[in-house]
Structure 1
Amino acid sequence: MQRRELLRLLATAGATPLLAPLLARASEDASWQAEFEAPNAPWKLGFATPPGDLPLAPAEVRGRFPDAVAGTLYRIGPAGHDLGGERYHHWFDGDGMVQQLVIEGRQVHHQGRYVATPKRVAEVRAGRRLTEAFGTVPPGVEPPTSADGINVANTSVLPLQGEVLALWEGGSATRIDARTLATLGLKTWRPDLAGMPFSAHPKVDPDGTVWNFGVGSSQGLLALYEIAPEGQLRRAAVVPVADLPMVHDFAVTERHLVFLMPPLVYDGARKQPGTSFLDAHVWRPELGMRALVVDKKDWDKRQLLTLPAGFLFHVGNAWEEATPKGARIHIDYVRSEDASSVFTTNRELMRGRRVTSPEPHLTVATLDLGTGRATQHALDFAAEFPRIDPRRVGLRHRSVVHATQLMKERPGFGAIARTDVETGRSQRFVYGPQAMVEEHVFVPDGRRPGWVLGTVLDLARGKTVLSCFAADDLKAGPVAQAILPRALPLGLHGAFVPV
């Protein structure tokens, strides 16, 4: 089959593209909205729906933010969870809201705006859901006819050439004005790529080259993208992958693209009317955790290795070294024993319930391309949302910044950590029992150790707080904090853009 025909099939796969990583079963006989409103759980504040956009407002700043973090932190996540008295059944089904935190010394300003996707605009106008989401099938809706018809733009952001791209799993990126946060429309890299899945975790090489992928589950096709630093598409193609699973994140090295593929595999026979996309997935541990390694220069050169079965959402980084028999790749990622967080944990949040799943652990794997052998070892603490110094993407690194310390009384994490993936040594700052920790990013500062910047939802205050730490001394606590005048919906990923 020719490349253009593969692209056409992938782009028109509307009913079954891979969406966000967290999906859920539909339940037609329960009022999720009533259940969410009933229990007295303070943490539900993070999953409430803002009634509209959040206008520009100043924060209360304590201390002074370093010069290196003068700029803008963009964050995004699902925020529009309920409409017309009906509530989505999975956290990641919610319409995306992009947050902008402008930082300048002793001043921080915040605004948040819903991404005005065609889906959201039509549904808000109608006052109800019009189409199924891949974690929820609201009663009386029509099945999707295209991927971008259900695009919620809620997973991550990519600053690129003066704009911000709001990213999602199943379809196009959405262009956002970097200053006003106004929605500018879908990003089409090339006419024949319109509607193609463009995933939520692109990687940016130190030279500015952007790499990304997209998954067409029902066709068993993996799309690959290479984008120049100036924002122009260099290459795009699709490659066939047998038993293609949910893939949310990947890694790059100097010479390779690396995909860790958990054994959560799409089964088209299960996708029936009224059935969510998640219901069409099967856990097949006999497949193991497959590692697909693709040559950056020649995408036809691919190698498959196998690790023990497990599940992942996020990758920290990967790098490679030469050996007499070939390259050896080291990759760190956050591993869980199974996919119960997809099927249960992040579903039950939408009705105000906390359900635990196996702890995710920061795990380091070695892929020996010369021998075909793959090994791994897990570090002994919970972790999620791993981020590294952006200057080290694809290169040898030591430190990973991540959330840690799962909380017993509520969902999420209570601390931020910086861990040496080679020695296992880690330092952390514990925010306290009333904080829900979100992703933190590493901000470089020349030859200095750099800074760690991120948000938490402070349940005691009922507000979101932005904190900045010295990267080499997290345990000393924040050097500066900005208390926003409002609580933001708990988000997923973000990116910092310096002045």
Structure 2
Amino acid sequence: MERRLFCQSLALGTTGSSLAALPFAAHADGSPEAGATLGAFNQQRSRAPWTLGFEGLQADLAPQPMQLRGKLPRDLRGTLLRNGPAQHSLGDVRYQHWFDGDGMIQQYRFSDQGLQHQGRFLRTQKFVAENAAGRRLHHSFGTQVAGGSPMASADAGNVANTSVVHHAGETLALWEGGSATLFDAGTLETGGLKTWTPEHAGMPFSAHPKIGADGSLWNFGVSSMHGLLSIYQVSARGQVRTATLQVPDMAMVHDFAVTEQHLVFLLPPLIFDRDRAQAGNTFMNSHVWKPELGMRALVLHKDRLNQPQWMELPSGFLFHTGNAWEDGKGVIHLDYVRSADASSVIQGFRALMRGEFGGEPAHAVARVELDTRSGRARQTLQAHHAEFPRIDPRFVGRRNKQLFMAERVAVSNRPGFDCITRLDLDSGKVDRYRYGADVMVEEHVFIPARSGSGKEAEGWLVGTALDLRSRRTLLSVFDARLLAQGPLAQGSMDRAVPLGFHGTFILA
């Protein structure tokens, strides 16, 4: 089955995420010209301080020590690597969607001497070619470039801008639409593209792999044009197992969850429309919101990946899951961050590139029960305007009670979050630290304490934030069980790093 589907995909053209080989017509989706986006953003910069996080950069950031307040925990030594879109403009063109920007790795080193930061753009094929030309050459996820051309392959447009994973001795920058990109975690030098098998060269390898207790990495890739979902299992030593299956009404899928026995995908009703893509719309605008389809849950047993089980949930949208586990009675318990609709990715992240903010859809932490025996699904909601859920990584696929997330607790006229929260999923109790109204909070990651007892949430929570008042990037270290007491240590530097997405911590 896998071989047949894969060869069929090759015969249809690109195996990528449909960002490539589409017959784009100039501005067929009705979006404003990219040059107009730059002008609109520049007009907003003086009146909207939050635009600092979306200005972007044109050059690497040289190594620089951070000013440290407080003391780093003794057993917290290593490197935090974060990824995100950082080059939003080139020449007179500013990207129209936040997801388009070229990726930059932010490196924060924790040592006996304190904290040090540097940032370096990933030298992808696209980044090198366009910066040599001094202009945008290709259409992208959400932007059509005047005079631009379709990408010859998904990896020709690979921006490597979403996440980072370190596994089997390799460090990879991840994107949604193409291959993983190798880079050196110490020097930040870009390597080549990671090819898992000859058959899967150029196939999407998504941005949220899961690493279980046995060291195996699970991931997926979506080939929207052909309705294919590829599954990857990579052992702790790098051996690869793959599978590919056909999925009807392919949705925009950013994340998934694993248990000890299953993989779980929640498919929101943001559906890829091949006709819209072939008519010249961007990849983003080739998706149609169809709430009547509801949210579909796809469950795959790890030993029977070709036997999908489907269940139904109320309509909604998601980017990220927290964790999933099964109770021994055939029920999978899963949590994710739910929004009412897909307006954030359809309109909201476009508005940010113009320096505009018109509000966000309501969010909630959704708790789901998927009964694999009866085929029924149930969902309950807890109101939290949050994103970037993370857990203690030792509990991936196992029962967990604690969920860490960035949250907004105050009404604000700007996008983003103002605090970090630890939520007890069973009781609903929260432990929360609020940075303040003038600070934009990014994802925080959990690092287990080396000398601890192994109990859940025993360790450190580490993450970045942008202080708009001082125009400085902050890096904070918390005792993960005592967030409300504030940072144990906090580094700052007199430069503002563009707001990014996801990262990982590599212990020394």
TM-score bin, normalised by smaller chain: over 0.9
Alignment partner, residue 141 of structure 1: 148
Inter-partner Cα distance in structure 2 for 1:213 and 1:10: 16
Are 1:307 and 2:316 counterparts? no
Alignment partner, residue 365 of structure 2: 362
| Corresponding pairs, count | 490
Are 1:491 and 2:500 counterparts? yes
Q: Cα gap change, 1:292/1:354 in structure 2, threshold over 3 Å: closer, same or farther?
A: same
Inter-partner Cα distance in structure 2 for 1:231 and 1:25: 45
Q: CA deviation at 1:9?
A: 4.3
2:40 pairs with one of 35, 41, 58? 35
Inter-partner Cα distance in structure 1 for 2:138 and 2:484: 47
Alignment partner, residue 277 of structure 1: 283
Alignment partner, residue 462 of structure 2: 453
2:262 pairs with one of 252, 256, 259? 256
Are 1:334 and 2:337 counterparts? yes
Inter-partner Cα distance in structure 2 for 1:385 and 1:41: 24
SS in 2 for 1:57: strand
Matches within 5 A, 1:91-102: 91-102=98-109
Inter-partner Cα distance in structure 2 for 1:385 and 1:89: 23
Structure 2: gaps spanning 5 or more residues: 20-28
Contact 1:199 1:212 in 2 (8 A): yes
Q: Cα gap change, 1:18/1:321 in structure 2, threshold over 3 Å: closer, same or farther?
A: farther
Alignment partner, residue 474 of structure 2: 465
Contact 2:208 2:255 in 1 (8 A): yes
Query: Which AA in structure 2 matches 1:6?
Result: L
Alignment partner, residue 380 of structure 2: 377
Q: CA deviation at 1:10?
A: 4.1
1:319 pairs with one of 325, 334, 347? 325
Alignment partner, residue 181 of structure 1: 188
Inter-partner Cα distance in structure 1 for 2:99 and 2:468: 22
Inter-partner Cα distance in structure 2 for 1:433 and 1:351: 22
Alignment partner, residue 417 of structure 1: 421
Inter-partner Cα distance in structure 2 for 1:319 and 1:157: 24
Q: TM-score, normalised by structure 1?
A: 0.95
Are 1:427 and 2:426 counterparts? no
Structure 1: gaps spanning 5 or more residues: none
Q: CA deviation at 1:244?
A: 1.3
Q: Cα gap change, 1:285/1:390 in structure 2, threshold over 3 Å: closer, same or farther?
A: same
Q: TM-score, normalised by structure 2?
A: 0.94
Inter-partner Cα distance in structure 1 for 2:338 and 2:424: 17
Inter-partner Cα distance in structure 2 for 1:358 and 1:216: 28
Query: Which AA in structure 2 matches 1:470?
Result: D
Aligned-residue identity in percent = 51
Alignment partner, residue 111 of structure 1: 118
Q: Cα gap change, 1:226/1:302 in structure 2, threshold over 3 Å: closer, same or farther?
A: same
Contact 1:310 1:337 in 2 (8 A): yes
Inter-partner Cα distance in structure 1 for 2:266 and 2:2: 24
Superposed CA offset, 1:79-120 (max 9, x none): 010001110000010000011100124500111100100011
Are 1:126 and 2:129 counterparts? no
Inter-partner Cα distance in structure 2 for 1:251 and 1:289: 15
Superposed CA offset, 1:390-420 (max 9, x none): 0000000000000111651211000000001
Query: Which AA in structure 2 matches 1:441?
Result: V
Contact 1:58 1:485 in 2 (8 A): no
Q: CA deviation at 1:162?
A: 3.5
Query: Aligned Cα RMSD in Å?
Result: 1.6
SS in 2 for 1:344: helix
Q: Cα gap change, 1:10/1:490 in structure 2, threshold over 3 Å: closer, same or farther?
A: farther
Query: Which AA in structure 2 matches 1:466?
Result: L
Inter-partner Cα distance in structure 1 for 2:274 and 2:292: 19
Q: CA deviation at 1:240?
A: 0.9
Q: CA deviation at 1:161?
A: 3.3
Contact 1:75 1:99 in 2 (8 A): yes
